[in-house]
A and B are shown apart, each in its own frame.
Chain A
Amino acid sequence: MLVTYFYNVGHRTISFFEDVGRASVTIFNAIFNKPEFVRGTARLIKQIYAVGVLSLLVILVSGFFIGMVLGLQGYTILSKFGADQALGELIALSMVRELGPVIGALLFAGRAGSALTAEIGLMKTTEQLSSMEMMGIDPLHRIIAPRFWAGQISLPILTLIFNAVAIIGGYLVGVVWLGVDDGAFWGNMQLSVDFREDVVNGIIKSTVFAAVISWIAVFQGVDSIPTSEGISRATTRTVVYSSLCILGLDFFLTAVMFRGT
């Protein structure tokens, strides 16, 4: 009984490291190759549209509502202490440091990460990857690389848009609806938000999250079992693994970036 338990633990541990190793080699081979500027740029732009531009709506709507909720909740609490003029500071710092990168990344994993896995998985199921390989074209370079880089470029930009829209949502609720002073809202925000410490660190966070989500999404697609159930499981794994990695990494990044500030 005990032997079986240790066997299972060992087996799973080895499988986990094997998966991580294969994923690393796959992505390394895919993204670090001789660049083709003309064709490569055209493919990249197409993928940025699919991964980034098509995720814009969900980012805009979510950002707007999160900003409004933050404005409402923040005002309710701050007004008890007569500090409602710090609402702009509260919303901006919360968004730029934490909520923007984390929620943006979670939404991106759900919208674009799952789509990437499903697309690549379906290409595998319908033998499109095999046919490309048989034409003498490496599917890793042709399919994986532009999708990975598109994710890497799109998420930090989407996060900045997410932050901006959330601040506008918070402004509408706090200033336009609840009557917080306009000048205090923007002035306190400008005083408290540091470009290097807050904005740049937020972008670094979203860049790290983008790499992790894109890596997981493309690998799960390539590694999926080519059946409908296999794709469904791979898609689920992308969202679950990405979400857990985002939340886990966020703690470490926050600890490194903002400890003591």
Chain B
Amino acid sequence: MKAESANIVEIRNLHFRRGAKVIFDGANLDIPRGKVTAIMGPSGCGKTTLLRLIGAQYAPDAGSILIDGKDITTMSKKELFHMRSHLGMLFQSGALFTDLSVFENVAFPLREHTNLPEKMIYDLVLMKLQAVGLRGAHTLMPQELSGGMARRVALARAIALDPDFIMYDEPFTGLDPISMGVLVQLIRLLNDALGITSILVSHDIHETIGIADHVYLISNGRVVGSGSPEDLMNSDDAWVRQFMQALPDGPVPFHYPAQSYADDLWGPQRC
């Protein structure tokens, strides 16, 4: 039997551009199996795009993305859909189906991918909802949920098929401190209890480094720092320090590039 690789995802020399804008320019990443790996970076650096590349919703311009040793860039559509049934993704908005109840949302992947009897689906859905603390809300519609609850339901749906790994896209954005605390704890607990791998995209430093085993920092299409949260907090690199300590000025300048201030105020273009 083939031994499992230590990395569930291996990305090599990833190139991806959208229009003229280069998003990834030779990025290399390894996502270790069974760990919580955080991918961090400033807004617009391509964190969410990376998740979509891993999920094969976008195709890279060059490079390879290996999931369990298989290159997803060369997979057929059928193979891709099969591969996706082994991964879960939590979208920033939750992306619950608005015409289905909480129960039906969680039951959705079970109904689509399995032929389980209705009674077993009922039990499984309630178990998944119990895991995220929302068993009592199974009859509600998505419109009746708060932002934090919607994301927990989406998490229950993401783990419905017991995936090998889960990708979290900005899961903490816009949540109140209690909801955020619940979600932070759930991500870590589910990772350890289910023995899965988690990829967490976020720019909420405090919450993310609290649960991450490994962190990648991305900027300008490349990995500019990686290591344990402690390594990165104590890094000497100016960019890493600016990001991790949320400093307003540094290698990422406070001012948007412009001509000289004096020219703008007293130059010929002045109105």
Contacts and interface: CB of A to CB of B under 8 A. Distances in A.
A135 interface: yes
B112 interface: yes
Interface stretch (A109-117, A122-130, A242-250): A122-130
B109 A134 contact: no
A19 interface: no
Interface residues of B, number: 25
A131 interface: yes
A133 B84 contact: yes
Measured as residues with beta carbon below 8 angstroms from the partner, the interface class of chain A is: 10 to 19
A134 B86 CA distance: 10
A142 B108 CA distance: 12
Interface of B: 52, 55, 57, 81-85, 87-89, 91-93, 95-98, 108-109, 111-113, 154, 161
Nearest to A46: B99
B85 A135 contact: yes
A170 to B, nearest CB: 39
Contacts of A127: 91-93, 95
25 contacts: A126-B93, A126-B95, A127-B95, A130-B52, A130-B57, A130-B91, A131-B89, A131-B95, A131-B154, A133-B84, A134-B57, A134-B88, A134-B89, A135-B84, A135-B109, A135-B112, A135-B113, A135-B161, A136-B81, A136-B83, A136-B113, A137-B112, A137-B113, A138-B81, A142-B112
B84 to A, nearest CB: 4
Given A126-B93, A138-B81, A133 B108 contact: no
B93 A135 contact: no
What are the 7 tightest A-B residue pairs by CB atom distance, in nearest-first order? A136-B85, A136-B84, A131-B95, A127-B95, A134-B89, A136-B81, A127-B91
A136 B161 CA distance: 11
Contacts of A137: 81, 109, 112-113
A203 B186 CA distance: 57
Contacts of B96: 128
Given A127-B91, A138-B81, A133 B57 contact: yes
Contacts of B52: 130
B93 A134 contact: no
Contact of B95 (A39, A128, A142): A128
Q: Name the residue among A39, A126, A138, A142 with the largest chain B CB count within 10 angstroms.
A: A126
Nearest to A133: B57
Contacts of A131: 89, 91, 95, 154
Contacts of B97: 128
Given A126-B95, A127-B91, A128-B98, A134 B84 contact: yes
